[in-house]
Structure 1
């Protein structure tokens, strides 16, 4: 599985209490009862020659069912998740009502080995979180994106 690449957009907004980020809870039966470590930057896989930025915008639309916001993008770089997937992310300032999200779906055999194929949402919900809430919920490998965003915003990025 090494060599897989994903790209995503981390939406952020300023509030009276500080910066919040929009995270997506991974859909499907494997994640249904989990909270901590079960949220992700809205992202998806791509294959070069598709550019990561184009893939990030496409996947945002596919996963959330709403267009990505326009505006300046802050590069957050790449990380390698524990499974070997390389994730590239950008932060974009914007606002989005979680109630407007209409997630895309995927199919998988469930329960495994049963021969039955079910259709599940790519993400089953999205929500805004402050830094501590986001850090507690985000997949461990992606937490560095929160740190990089904080540095970019503090430096006037």
Structure 2
């Protein structure tokens, strides 16, 4: 099985309650009734030989949320390799400080056979909602393979005194 490559943007903001990150609840029927572990950093697959990872992260942010990445510094949070339902996934993420209203999100869609083995295709949103969470809450909400990025963001902000 071939490794998949994904790139994403972890949008963060600072407020009186500390640092918050914007994540999306995965769309489709498999995640409809799940909460913890069913949220994701806006990200998507790309082919490293054909596309720059940062360009892919920006494109996927727009495709998943229907919004552009706010202007700001791109803070590299590195790579994580983890298992997904279809093999191994290599994810690279950048953090960008900015603010978006989750109500403005217009998610992209994907098509899949639903119900399974029915022969009928249905469209579902890539994410069915987005929201801001403090780092501790986001840790519970995010899928396991993406959680290291929260620690990396926190470490970066602590080390730089930002």
Q: CA RMSD in A?
A: 0.9
Q: Alpha-carbon deviation of 1:2?
A: 3.1
Runs of 4+ residues deviating >6 angstroms:
none
Q: Give the length in aligned residue pairs.
A: 157
Aligned position for 2:102: 98
Question: What is the distance in 2 between the residues matched to 1:105 and 1:95?
Answer: 23
Q: Alpha-carbon deviation of 1:155?
A: 1.1
Question: What is the distance in 2 between the residues matched to 1:2 and 1:91?
Answer: 27
Q: Alpha-carbon deviation of 1:132?
A: 1.2
Which sections of structure 2, spanning at least 5 residues, go unmatched?
none
Aligned position for 1:34: 34
Q: Alpha-carbon deviation of 1:82?
A: 1.5
Matched-pair contact (CA < 8 Å) for 1:2–1:85: no
Aligned position for 1:142: 146
Question: What is the distance in 1 between the residues matched to 2:115 and 2:91?
Answer: 28
Matched-pair contact (CA < 8 Å) for 1:5–1:47: yes
TM-score (norm 2): 0.94
Superposed CA deviations along residues 48-91 of structure 1, whole A, max 9, x for unmatched, are 22010000000000000011111101101011122211110000
For the pair 1:17 / 2:33, whether they are aligned, the reply is no
Q: Classify the secondary structure of the residue corresponding to 1:85.
A: strand
